[in-house]
Amino acid sequence: MSVLVYTESENGKLKKAALEVASYAKAVADAIGGNVTAVSINSDNNDDLANYGVHKSLEVSDEKLQKFNADAYAEVITQAAKKVDAKVVVISQSANAKYLAPLLSVNLSAAYASNVVDVPKTDNEFTVERTAFTNKAFNHTSLSTDIKILGLSNNAFGLKENKVEMSKEDFSAELNDDHFKINVESVDKNTDKVSIADAEVVVSGGRGLKDPKNWGMIEDLADVLGAATACSKPVSDMGWRPHSEHVGQTGKPVASNLYIAIGISGAIQHLAGISASKTKVVINTDDEAPFFKAADYGIVGDAFEVVPKLIEKLKDFKANNA
Amino acid sequence: MKILVCISHVPDTTSKINFTENDTKFDTNGVQFVINPNDEFGLTRAMWFKEKQGATVDVVTVGDKSTEPTIRKALAIGADSAIRVDAEPVDGFQVAKELAKVAEDGDYDLIIAGRESIDYNGGMVPGMLAKLIGANFINTCVSLEIEGEKATAVREIDGGKETLTAHLPLVIGGQKGLVEESDLKIPNMRGIMMARKKPLKVVEPVAETPLTKAEKFEKPAPKGEVKLVDADNIDELIDLLHNEAKAI
């Protein structure tokens, strides 16, 4: 039995999420009995995967795959899964992984469970725990096909070191023009900013900021923490911030280690979007704001007084703990 | 251009979520159902193509009779006709199979679905549907233009955007950004009256077996009380985040 994990890279470097899905794949392999094989595309160095339980690294190096292409990437993973006779395929829940997963599912005639948060139970049937209703509930899902695809929620499992001997093998999939029917014309990436999906820490602002010109405070706090910036729905609706930063049920879900909400009252849709975050901090003048019921730590106070002080104190903390 | 918009019938975003029958079924008691928000952006974009480029727009849902008010709302917004596949949706694959049959029978140029429904958040139906019918697929679309046989779309990626081109037939997984929220259409009285006369065809399912099953639901454990820190004592917050939460 074999577990195949797709380990994503960016500019030739493995993403942190790749190490997390590898850690998870090792736990899945231990549960069902078997070893983990990783497949990576145009990653320069996969040595680190050995520290997270990967026994074999299938390494694809192909100029045609420099830009992400869902069809072609799904085909590569399909052929890798067939090569190692994978019973479980593990992917992350990045935007690209979510794009290719349903295609992979049809290619392999495999059931796909997305937003998985725990290792499968395999006593009678194969079941996984997933989030549902945008984190307002969990759903235990059984998968009935021979091959299963699991999409692991970001930060749900964490990094688990598990050093093993790893072998490497060049791998090339057979691809044809049909796999490249969609053309990527241009990519516009905010290279200097942490993306919400990859962020360990997210600093988010709401209507309490009063004016978009006050946003500098949010960015300064995010800079100190190496965090991504986000916002509530009204803020993106008013055009203060782009839609891509809107967190919530109809925006982006956040599963960071730390989520700091400033001037956000905490509507049910917003809380659903952030409930997978581990530690939540709220700063709000209104002590009746619903966010205080969802948060771990709170400060009742004026953001314009509290946040600048927090930035200064955090700078000192970082300097002393560097 | 023939457009099919896939509509999911979901609990309103403000709904409190509860379960019945020993936590195996979603409790619909007192819950208002709406068009899935991601589908609503797609439906409005389809209306734009209808008004500006002369497209026809059909809507489809997979569900029992209780879904009809939701799909009638799509007709009231301006869709030309509706199809309801008379089956209980069980998983993404089964829904995609049912939609694939409708899509193939209707020979559509463009199929718009939401990137995910806000109930099960599977995010699998649009991609599976595209693969099953051999159409091109672009996910997380925040902009879509069609000229002749060619589509230009902008897709949201982690930390940025990508511009892609593809030929029709095309399936997209759409979301907020396809149209502005302020442009979402609200049915007016004339639309509601006209919707009553528009065709709503009920079709039998192809009876595809689901590949997954939701066995049991549970709600997150109740959270402990928030620890309040005095606004003048930021050091305490930093100490808690560092030593207790291990978050910094």
Residue linked to tokens 């002749």: B148
Contact indicator for A91, A152 with CB cutoff of 8 Å = yes
Instruction: Please give the helix or strand (H or E) that residue A41 lies within, else none.
Output: strand A35-41
Residues whose CB falls within 8 Å of the CB of residue B135, separated by 6 or more in sequence, listed in order: B103, B111, B129, B169, B170, B171
Give dist(CA A244, CA B156) in Å, integer: 8
pLDDT of residue B78: 96
Place of tokens 């905010």: A190
> Residue B108 has what pLDDT?
98
Residue in A with minimal Cα distance to B132: A106
Cα–Cα dist A2/A37, whole Å: 7
Give Cβ neighbours of residue A312 (< 8 Å, ≥ 6 apart).
none
Mean pLDDT calculated for residue range A309-313: 96
Please return the burial class of A92, using the count of CB atoms within 10 Å of its CB with bins 0-12, 13-18 and 19+: buried
- Please tell me which of the candidates B122, B127, B210 has its beta carbon nearest to residue A99: B127
Task: Please list the residues that pair with A152 across neighbouring strands.
Answer: A116
Using CA atoms, how far apart are residues B208 and A164, in angstroms rounded to an integer? 42
User: SS3 of A139, please?
Assistant: strand
In 3D space, the residue among B22, B3, B108, B7 whose CA is nearest the CA of residue B60 turns out to be: B7
**B149 contacts in chain A (CB < 8 Å):** none
**Cβ-based contacts of B241 with chain A (< 8 Å):** 258, 279, 281, 297
pLDDT computed for residue A12 by the predictor: 95
Torsion of CA B170, B176, B180, B186, to 10 degrees: 90
Instruction: Give CA B234 to chain center in angstroms.
Output: 43
State the greatest distance between any 2 C-alpha atoms of chain A, in Å, as a whole number: 60
Find, among B71, B92, B159, B173, the residue nearest to A132 by Cα.
B92
- Give the ipTM of the model, two decimals please: 0.96
Q: What's the CA gap between A215 and A10, in Å, rounded?
A: 29
What's the pLDDT at B222?
A: 84
* Alpha-carbon gap: B41 to the closest alpha carbon of chain A (Å): 11
Give Cβ neighbours of residue B69 (< 8 Å, ≥ 6 apart). Answer: B33
The token pair that represents A251 in the structure block: 């925006």
Model pLDDT for residues A146-204, shown as the tens digit of each residue: 999 999 999 899 999 999 999 999 999 999 999 999 999 999 987 777 888 888 999 99
Residue A304 backbone phi and psi in degrees, to 5? -70, -20
- Nearest CA among B182, B181, B194 for reference residue B37: B181
Q: Give the tens place of pLDDT for each residue, A230-243.
A: 999 999 999 999 88
> What count of other Cβ atoms lies within 10 Å of the Cβ of residue B78?
20
Contact B119, B10 (CB under 8 A): yes
Chain A contacts in chain B segment 31-70 (CB below 8 A):
37-38
* Least Cα separation, residue A172 to chain B (angstroms): 22
- In whole angstroms, give the CA distance from residue A194 to residue B38: 25
Evaluate if residue A322 carries a pLDDT over 80. no
Considering only CB atoms, A292 lies closest to which of B166, B219, B226, namely B226
The one-letter amino acid at B15: S
Mean pLDDT per 10-residue segment, chain B (248 residues): 98 94 95 97 98 97 97 97 97 98 98 96 97 98 97 94 97 95 90 95 94 95 92 96 94
pLDDT confidence of residue A191:
72
pLDDT tens per residue, range A98-135: 999 999 999 999 999 999 999 999 988 999 999 999 89
Nearest CA in chain A to B13: A269
Reading the block at residue B108, the tokens are: 């559509």
Which run of H or of E encompasses B25? strand B25-26
Q: What is the CA radius of gyration of chain A?
A: 21
**Would you tell me how many other CB atoms lie within 10 Å of the CB of residue B160?**
16
Q: Which two tokens stand for residue B143?
A: 């902009």
| Calpha distance A202→A274 (Å, rounded) | 10
Beta pairing class for A279-284 and A297-300:
parallel
Cα A278 to Cα B246: distance, rounded to the nearest angstrom? 10
Contact B17 A127 (CB under 8 A): no
DSSP state at residue B69 = H
Closest chain A residue to B230, measured at CA: A299
Residue position matching structure tokens 């997979």:
B62
* Calpha distance B212→A198 (Å, rounded): 28
Dist. CA A93–CA A99, nearest whole Å: 9
Closest to A295 in 3D by CA, of A321, A320, A258: A258
Q: Specify the pLDDT at position A190.
A: 79
Among A109, A296, A305, A320, which would you mutate to test the B interface (most chain B Cβ atoms within 10 Å of its Cβ)?
Answer: A296
Give yes or no for residue A46 having a pLDDT over 90: yes
* pLDDT confidence of residue A197: 81
DSSP class of B244: I
Residues B211, A111: C-beta atoms closer than 8 Å? yes
pLDDT tens digits along A57-107: 999 999 999 999 999 999 999 999 999 999 999 999 999 999 999 999 999
Nearest Cα residue in chain A from B15: A268
B139 vs A250: CB contact, 8 Å cut-off?
A: no
d(CA B218, CA A118): 14
Within 221-240 of B, beta carbons closer than 8 Å to A belong to 223-224, 226-231, 234-235, 237-238, 240
Q: How far apart are the first and last CA of chain B?
A: 54
- Which residue's entry shows tokens 């190496």? A226
Provide the CB-side half-sphere exposure for B185 (13 A, CA).
Answer: 22
Residues 6+ apart with CB under 8 A from A292: A266, A282, A284, A298, A300, B226, B228
pLDDT of residue A7: 98
Cβ distance A141 to B215 under 8 Å?
Answer: yes
pLDDT value, residue A195: 84
